[in-house]
Structure 1
Amino acid sequence: MTLPIHALLLSTVSASAQVTPIEPALVPVVNKEQQINLQMGKYEVTVAEFSRFVEATDYQVPKKCMLFTSTRWPDPDSPGNWDNPELTHNPHRPVVCIGIPGAMAYAQWLSEQTGKPYRLPTLKEWRVAASARTTSRSPFGEDWQQTQICKYENTEDLANLAGMQIDHQHRYRSSANCNDGAVYHTVVGMYRPNPLGLHDMMGNVKELLQSCQRWDNKNPKQCTHYDVAGEGWHWQTRGVFNADTIAADFYGSIEGFRLVLEQPAEGSERPFNDVFARKLADAQRQQRLAHQQLRQLPPAPAGVRAVRNQNNQVTISWQELADQSTRYSVFRSYVDPNGQLSRKQTQVAKDLSLGQFTDQLPGAGQASYRVAATTSPGQGPFSVQVETGHHTTFEPGQRIEAEHYVTQEHVYLIDHKEKNQQSLAFNDNPHHYPTGDKPLLPAWSSYQFKSHTQQDVELQMRLRADEGSQIEIWQGHHLVARVTGMTPDTLEIVKVPAKLIASDAPIEVQAGTQTWFMVDWLQFNPLASLEQ
């Protein structure tokens, strides 16, 4: 449903300076079946355009943005604003951190200054424009392997992974299988347009829309959640027809907007004015050079091996790359039998020029290693993981710390403030898929285990779970127990009846539903020991 722009929203907007607005370059969008005939902004609205609005009206954007930049990680306790220097140093990038109110206020100001009916698109209009009369996930094809997306969009990709590693020492496990040359949002129009001539519809920043998705129960005229479409640099691209919502009072640095002109489409595109068009073209040329450099990330090192001696020294070796300037980093994950050290992957060596490194382990626990190559553009992807050492085999009556898994899928470690405490989180969205494209990928972890007899036991687990979570415990092909009914978002010890079989098959903890939960430890207590 299309919303009128509420008068109260723009109560702070008043003309205070003679500033000429920059009207958007426009592209015709026509679909007779959907009764759509209008003109849409070719690009997302830039910092340069929004700055003129602020200069003219002294509009005040609330300082409550979840700022995400090379130096800032989103933190509700330390919000930022749209005019943060990292967001505005290049005025030809999309403006962000302005929220639904700021986007609507800008549209009304531009309408008042030009006498033309500008506004935000509706979800229906956006989908018609983004799909360009196709029915696939994107107008250039399904691209399920995500190898083509980087030609068309700035998305979560190999460049983004490298940038996150350098700036925030954080690296997601997966991304698009290509390199678009950008880490954060970039200058508008850097990639191929869709068949209608619209740029960045599926990437760069998510786009705020004026369609209301949820109304306030007490005030039916007040929208609490709006539609938002497309995807940004921080997320893998969603399909055109998979919508998302955003709270009316949310301000984020991954969300921007574009405008539509509610007038019948003219025969051809309408460009920016000459001055702004030249400035944008210059900015695109400069940004293209930066993109080309970042596209030269090194590949993952191959031939990685790990050899361990009796003194728990491990020699890791790999094939060196042809580029003599390449430097290598070695990352280790260590399973401490005494539970005193974190298993989280840590960097144990960096700036290595040769394909070999010897690591001294802190004890006899199992260890795994990955190697990454770094050149001037940044760090490339990790090598395959190699392992050395043996895992503990647990038995009934012994506490199994969750981080002592042998194998796993879609889990991650959480370090707690309490000394030497770790838990294992089971991820409901392991590959960072956007809402609507999130497939069912059950998370699980397995542990070496041996039960000498078949026996009834009491399963104890210390955990925290989201509402609706269901946890299954398997011993090989045997279902040992199913845990449900946990108190949402509460760290607790649950106790349920369970049945073990005589077997040395591993114990597996598996998510039974697509919800997040965290396990600290689990233990199978024989009933006989509980009765004593």
Structure 2
Amino acid sequence: MKLNKLVLTLCLSATSYHLYAVEPIEPIMLEIPSGSFAMGDTSEKDSQPIHNVNVAEFSLGKYEITRKEFRQFVEATGYEMPSQCIHQLNGWFNYGETAGSWDNNSLTTNDFQPVNCIGWKAANAYTQWLAKETGRPYRLPSEAEWEYAAKAGTKTKFYFGDDVDQTLVCDYENTADLTGENILQRDANTSYVNFFNGKSSCVDHSAYSSIVGMYKANSFGLHDMVSNVVEYIADCYQDSYNNAPNSGEALIDDVCEYRVTRGGSWHWNTFSTSQRGRINETFVGGVEGFRVALDGNVSSVSNNTKSFSKELQTAQLNEQRRRDALLPYPDKITNLTLNQASGLVTLTWDKSLQEGIDSYRIYRNAGIGGSFKLMAANLIETTFKDANVDGLRYEYTVVAVRQHQQSDYSDVVTTKAPIARAPGRIEAEGAVKLQGADVTRTSDIEGKYNLTGFGGIADNAEITYEIEVLKSGDYSLNYRAAAPRDTKGFKVLVDGKEVAIEKVLKTGGYNEWSTQQGGMLHLNKGKITLVIKSLDNNWKLNWLELNKI
């Protein structure tokens, strides 16, 4: 390993180490045998080419480093930790830093949860300190070591199988699931549905990060390998494996723009054992943590580590008792139907026959591909009427509630698609079909909603509108957009024929909006299908406007 290139100066004097009399809690380590494996995956662009890697024997933390373990490092060294962290829930994660630190943030409530709100540099500094204090070569794992250990000899998507239906994962990992969906709706009025990679079809009993080691281990005995928190890795990120070593060593450049991360977290659906992430060294977030590696094996265990292990076992036992005492979540509601007439939507569904069901809740999407928002609660009857319908294509779902735990969503029912008119303005969220874009509340002064996504509208998004053209002729196209950079924009297709390519120019950011002038389209009278095909990402759309020339 080229560990000399990973060294970060801690600015610690010999005296400060001498004054710290308590021996460190050394992480509970497991010996990982040497071996070879095929690293990579054809389903991910940056995980190719697949290549054989030979990994020497090493040790890896059985668990992710906890807040209790990390506290020793901070108290011993006085390391200057970040005081802000992207972690607060406010409709969803704020993508600007808010007050919060490794020992005081809204997502961590227990010393035996993984430490977060630290950043890559602090994680690496911890390993440097631990190595110096113990005389053992602790470090962050290499990317190859991590994948080798996570797969543990398997060749499936996850170490517990392919799990196509996402029903097994909750036995092995803390991921985006029904528990998280319940708490996410309660705390932030938003949903995992239509967010990033969705949610699993099971219950893991943890809404945020979990006490480490609460789920089944892989065959190497490692816990929480592909979820709970994202894990920092030693390697510099490159967008392919073309230059990757086959020795299991970390790939280190003189300057790292990004570091590799591995695994998902509690607020994303499970990542495969081959899936890669990247993160800037200066980024400090609430869903990232780490575990440590060690050349060779640990031949002895310190008394502090033994004490920590006993305390962790007690915390795990108490948490398991809490989970065992929970009632099962209610079953899904069946036979939800929708009737739409004269601006009134009427929903009906089958009554739940399960014992203890005390009410129902209605959730609604203001546009296909958006996040379900709570519309009505404490409903006793199995009928609901919505008169607050203003021409969008709404999705509805219903859940059963028992002692504040709600079932998974029923099958979704949808109102009829609105038909826009030209000339006139077409609200972006009025699409009859969305692919690669989500509906969200707009920050613009005009309109209620806009289209966006993870990193803006996707570079392969397709957005379809049904439009009634009142008069044949030439029409100018304008659009209201926000973009942090100039983009390639989008193609415009009318009834399947490409008629224009429009660029989206930078506006100054995702919350800075401008009306941009497009080209001219010739439209024939009658009903047409207009499709926007995105050619880039990092842009948002509020509305389109077709004006008769």
Change (3 A) 1:106 1:22: same
Pairing of 1:304-315 with structure 2 (within 5 A)? 304-307=336-339, 312-315=343-346
Residues 66/398 of structure 1: CA separation in 2 closer, same or farther (3 Å cut): closer
Q: 2:539 aligns with which of 517, 520, 529?
A: 517
Query: Is 1:18 the counterpart of 2:21 in the alignment?
Result: yes
Are the structure 2 counterparts of residues 445 and 269 from structure 1 closer, same or farther at C-alpha, using a change threshold of 3 Å? Answer: farther
Q: 1:351 to 1:38 in 2, by over 3 A?
A: same
Question: What secondary structure, in the 3-state scheme, does the structure 2 residue paired with 1:277 have?
Answer: helix
Q: Which residue of 2 is the match for residue 475 of structure 1?
A: 494
Matching residue of 1:53 = 73
Distance in 2 between the 1:143 and 1:12 partners? 51
**How far apart are the structure 2 equivalents of 1:71 and 1:464?**
20
The one-letter amino acid of 1:318's match is W
Code of the residue aligned with 1:280 in structure 2: it is L
Q: Judge conservation of contact 1:24–1:272 (CA < 8 Å) in 2.
A: no
The verdict on how the C-alpha distance between 1:470 and 1:275 changes in structure 2, with shifts beyond 3 A counting, is same
Question: Paired residue for 2:426, among 382, 400, 403?
Answer: 400
SS at match of 1:358: strand
Preserved CA contact (<8 Å) 2:190 2:372: no
Query: Is residue 297–residue 377 contact of structure 1 (8 Å, CA) maintained in 2?
Result: no
Distance 2:455 2:311 in 1: 41
Q: Quote the Cα distance in structure 2 between the aligned partners of 1:138 and 1:78.
A: 34
After TM superposition, the runs of 4+ consecutive aligned structure 1 residues lying more than 6 A away are: 69-72, 268-272, 362-366
The SS at the match of 1:300 is: coil
What are the within-5 Å matches in structure 2 for residues 90-239 of structure 1?
90-173=110-193, 174-213=198-237, 221-239=254-272
Distance apart, 1:47 and its partner CA = 1.4
8 A contact 1:447–1:507 mirrored in 2: yes
Report if the CA contact (8 A) 1:28-1:269 is conserved: no
Q: What are structure 1's unaligned runs of at least 5 residues?
A: 215-219, 336-342, 432-439
1:348–1:178 Cα change, 3 Å: closer
Q: Which residues of structure 2 form unaligned runs of 5+? A: 37-53, 239-252
Partner of 1:80: 100
CA drift of 1:171 comes to 0.8
1: CA distance, partners of 2:528 / 2:316: 59
Find the counterpart in structure 1 of residue 351 from structure 2. Answer: 320
Answer yes or no: is the 8 Å Cα contact 1:462–1:494 preserved in 2: no
Show CA shifts across 1:285-324 (max 9, x none).
22223444668333432222334566x5544221122233
Any conservation in 2 of the 1:447–1:506 contact (CA below 8 Å)? yes
2:262 partner amino acid: A
Contact 2:419/2:468, CA 8 A, preserved across alignment: no
Deviation of residue 86 (structure 1)?
4.8
Q: 1:104 to 1:356 in 2, by over 3 A?
A: same
Tell me, yes or no, if the aligned pair for 2:417 and 2:432 is still in contact at 8 Å.
no
Q: Please, which of 492, 516, 530 is the counterpart of residue 507 of structure 1?
A: 530
- Residues 12 and 77, structure 2, Cα contact 8 Å, conserved in 1: no
Cα distance, 1:467 vs structure 2:
4.6
- Give 1:393 deviation, angstroms: 4.3
What residue number does 1:415 align with? 441
What is the CA-CA distance between 1:271 and the residue it aligns to? Answer: 11
The C-alpha deviation readout for 1:225-269, integer Å capped at 9, x for no partner, is: 222111111122222223222111222221111111222577x99
Are residues 384 and 293 of structure 1, via their aligned partners in 2, closer, same or farther at CA, if it must alter by over 3 Å? farther
C-alpha distance in structure 1 between counterparts of 2:212 and 2:200, whole Å: 20
Paired AA for residue 484 in structure 1? K
1:366-392 residue CA offsets vs partner (Å, 9 max, x unmatched) = 765332223335333333333456734
Equivalent in the alignment of 2:31: 28
- Measured against aligned partners, the alpha-carbon deviations of 1:503-524 in whole angstroms (never above 9, x if no partner) come to 52432333345x2432222233
Q: CA deviation at 1:95?
A: 1.2
Distance 1:299 1:98, change over 3 A: same
User: How far is 1:205 from its partner?
Assistant: 0.8
1:181/1:295 contact within 8 Å kept: no
Equivalent pair of 1:423/1:518 in contact (CA under 8 Å):
no
Deviation at 1:91, TM superposition (A): 1.4
AA aligned opposite 2:529: P
TM-score, normalised relative to structure 2: 0.80
Q: Would you say the 8 A contact 1:160–1:234 is kept in 2? A: yes
Aligned-pair CA distance for 1:45: 1.1
Alpha-carbon distance in structure 2 between the residues aligned to 1:172 and 1:142: 21
Secondary structure at the counterpart of residue 394 of structure 1? strand
Secondary structure of the residue aligned to 1:8 is coil
Give yes or no for contact 2:184–2:191 (8 Å, CA) kept in 1.
yes
Contact 1:469 1:517 in 2 (8 A): no
In the alignment, which residue of structure 1 is the partner of 2:518? 495
Tell whether the 8 Å contact from 1:327 to 1:353 is kept in structure 2 after alignment. Answer: yes
Secondary structure of the 2:296 match is: coil
1:351 aligns with 2:378: yes
Structure 1 CA distance, aligned partners of 2:394 and 2:31?
Answer: 59
Q: Residue 325 and residue 241 in structure 1: after superposition, are their counterparts in 2 closer, same or farther (change >3 A)?
A: closer
Q: Answer yes or no: is 1:286 the counterpart of 2:318.
A: yes
Structure 1: how far apart are the matches of 2:301 and 2:460? Answer: 47
Aligned residue identity for 2:493: W
Cα distance in structure 1, aligned partners of 2:337 and 2:419? 23
Maintained 8 Å contact 2:480/2:544: yes
Match of 2:156, as an amino acid?
S
Q: CA offset at residue 76 of structure 1?
A: 2.8
- Distance, in Å, in 2 between the alignment partners of 1:72 and 1:464 is 20
Aligned match of 2:480: 462
CA positional deviation for 1:82: 0.5
Segment of structure 1 superposing worse, 123-132 or 477-486: 477-486
> Compared with structure 1, are the counterparts of its residues 505 and 81 closer, same or farther at alpha carbon in structure 2 (3 Å cutoff)?
same
Match of 1:424, SS state, is strand
CA deviation profile, 1:457-485 (whole Å, cap 9, x unmatched):
43322223465444233333333333236
- Structure 2 CA distance for partners of 1:516 and 1:250, relative to 1, 3 Å: closer
Conservation of the 8 A alpha-carbon contact between 1:369 and 1:386: yes
Aligned partners of 2:203 and 2:390: how far apart in 1?
A: 40
2:383 pairs with 1:369: no
Q: What is the percentage of aligned positions where both structures have the same residue?
A: 28
Question: Which residue in the other structure is 2:39 paired with?
Answer: none
Q: CA deviation at 1:200?
A: 0.8
AA partner of residue 255 (structure 1): E
Query: For residues 163 and 2 of structure 1, do their structure 2 counterparts lie closer, same or farther at Cα, with a shift above 3 Å needed?
Result: farther
Is 1:330 aligned to 2:362, yes or no?
yes
TM-score (norm 1): 0.82
1:123: how far off? 1.2
- 1:276 partnered with 2:322: no
